[in-house]
Amino acid sequence: MPSEIVTEDDVIRKRILLDGEGAGDEKRVTTLLKTFVKWLHDPQADDYTFHKMLALISQCEMAVDKLQVVKKMNEQESKNYQKLHSDIEKEIEEGKKRIELYKKQLDEAKVIKTNKQQYDVIGKIIRQYPSKSETTESIAKLEKEIAELRKRKTALDEDVSQKKRQFEVLVHSIQQLQHDLLHQNTNTDTDEKDNTEEMDTS
């Protein structure tokens, strides 16, 4: 079944019934109408009836005033509920924005953490190798050692060249000596042969 729509008047009536005066007000209005009709048909009615009507009218006016107060209270309460509802909606929207912000910050924190882990791994790898200053120092030391080796090689090359020249001079001297000895021996043999021939002739 479709739900029944509750109007503001129904709410006011229910409030009055709950406080025990709604039915009495309706009864007073009915009594006032009956008394007024009776008074109209009997103009000679005593003052009691007239004052009774005045009292009923006063009571009805008070009831109307009370209803006006209740109505204003309900209107104010409705405004308060609307404001509360609006405030809650705003807080919900702000809460959603904060959640989105926190999610974004969380994602950024995850990226930063991942990058930090990668940097740590790279840092460990880098630390396994010498630093730039150490590498520069090692290169300078190696260049110095290479320069020293080059000097030593140059000195050795010069020494070898000198030894080679000396050896060539020595070989040449030996060859010259051998040639001189051979020539001298040949001359000696010739002289001896000539002497022998001279002796045979004599």
pLDDT in tens, 42-72: 766 666 767 777 787 787 778 778 888 888 8
**Is 51:57 a contact under the CB 8 Å cutoff?**
no
CA distance 64 to 71: 10
81-104 residue pLDDT tens: 888 888 899 999 988 999 999 999
**CA–CA separation, 79 and 63 (whole Å):** 24
Question: Using one digit for the tens of pLDDT, what is the confidence trace for 120-165?
Answer: 888 788 777 777 787 888 888 888 889 898 888 888 888 888 888 8
Specify the pLDDT at position 69: 86
Q: How many CA atoms lie within 13 A of 90 on its CB side?
A: 6
What is the band of 112 on the pLDDT scale with cuts at 50, 70, 90? very high
Q: Which residues of 96-132 are buried (b: 16+ CB within 10 A; e: fewer)?
A: eeeeeeeeeeeeeeeeeeeeeeeeeeeeeeeeeeeee
Q: What share of the chain has pLDDT > 90, as a percent?
A: 7
Amino acid at residue number 135: T
Kindly list the distances between the CA atom of residue 83 and the CA atoms of 8, 95, 120, in Å, as whole numbers in the listed order: 18, 18, 54
Tens of pLDDT along 73-86? Answer: 888 888 888 888 88
pLDDT of residue 23: 47
| CB crowding 54-90: b at 16 or more within 10 Å, else e | eebeebeeebeeebeeeeeeeeeeeeeeeeeeeeeee
